[in-house]
Chains A and B, each alone.
Chain A
Amino acid sequence: MMGFLLADGQGLNWRDGDLWYALPLIIAVSLVYAATRHERMRPILLHAGRVALWIVGFMAVVFVVLGLISWRL
């Protein structure tokens, strides 16, 4: 079932994966976006958390769709 996660029979290398480069981008983008919507820190942080979850969720959906498309290719 999870065969689409495998690449070249080695599986995904989570430690060295380039996906980790998305983490600082997600943090920075969500914080800056939230800061343009609020003036105080607490609502900024709460909003940033929600934005970050949206981004991660969107990426997860794209990941699954691409995985399914490339399944058994």
Chain B
Amino acid sequence: MPEAAAEQPAPEVVDLKEPALAALLGWLIPGLGHWYQGRRAKAVLFFVCIMGTFAYGVCLSSSNAPVDNKKDTTIGWGRTVYFSWRENDRRLPYLCQIGIGLPALPALIQANRMANNQKVWWHGFMAPPWPSKEAREAARSAGHDQNYSQPTLHDLHRQLHRYFELGTVFTMVGGLLNVLAMYDAWGGPVAPPPKKEDEDDSDDETKDEAQP
């Protein structure tokens, strides 16, 4: 009983400053909203846990393996974090990954460059793969061969094996966890409901107090 009472959080006043701004900062960088609010320990905890999960997922989905046995092209980094809304390649996991904010935003830049037939940056970091070899060849025959060296989705699955899915899960979980952290920055910690025994005790106390 005393142990349970010690675990029961004491009602604590948390200065949330500007909750909306804190939530926005928390979306951009995990923990930044809490840092802004002065909740430094939780800021560090959120940053380490969420960014660690996301970064591990990015690492899992990276490889120096060549594409199609060509030495000048490699799979590259962060291949599971990409945005694509093309036919037969609607990347729904990105809707979860974007929850982590700034770290997932390069994917939008890369998708935009790919769609506009501009060469993708950073050796294809978070760039969307070609949906198929046919699409890649079609783009080349249309005179857009800036991104011809980029792998296809099939290449990613073949080279990364199960790490493509594992990386996707880790980065998705990282993004979703940051939504929880953003909510905490906006509204403060969710107080657990009071235990029934405590309620009964408090009722008894009020009854006792009410007695003359």
Give chain A's interface residues, CB within 8 Å of chain B: 18, 21, 24-25, 27-29, 31-33, 35-41, 43-44, 46-47
- Which secondary structure dominates where chain A touches chain B? helix
Interchain nearest-CB distance for A30 vs B (Å):
9
Interchain nearest-CB distance for B165 vs A (Å):
10
B23 at the interface (CB under 8 A from A): no
B42 partner residues in chain A, CB cutoff 8 A? 35, 39, 44
- Residue of A32, A37, A44, A46 most packed against chain B (CB within 10 A): A32
B28 partner residues in chain A, CB cutoff 8 A? none
* Chain B residues bordering chain A, tally (CB within 8 A): 30
Q: Considering only CB atoms, which chain B residue lies closest to A41 in the complex?
A: B41
A25 partner residues in chain B, CB cutoff 8 A? 53, 169-170, 173
B212 at the interface (CB under 8 A from A): no
CB pair B183–A36 under 8 Å, yes or no, is: yes
Q: Considering only CB atoms, which chain A residue lies closest to B41 in the complex?
A: A41
B50 partner residues in chain A, CB cutoff 8 A? 28, 32
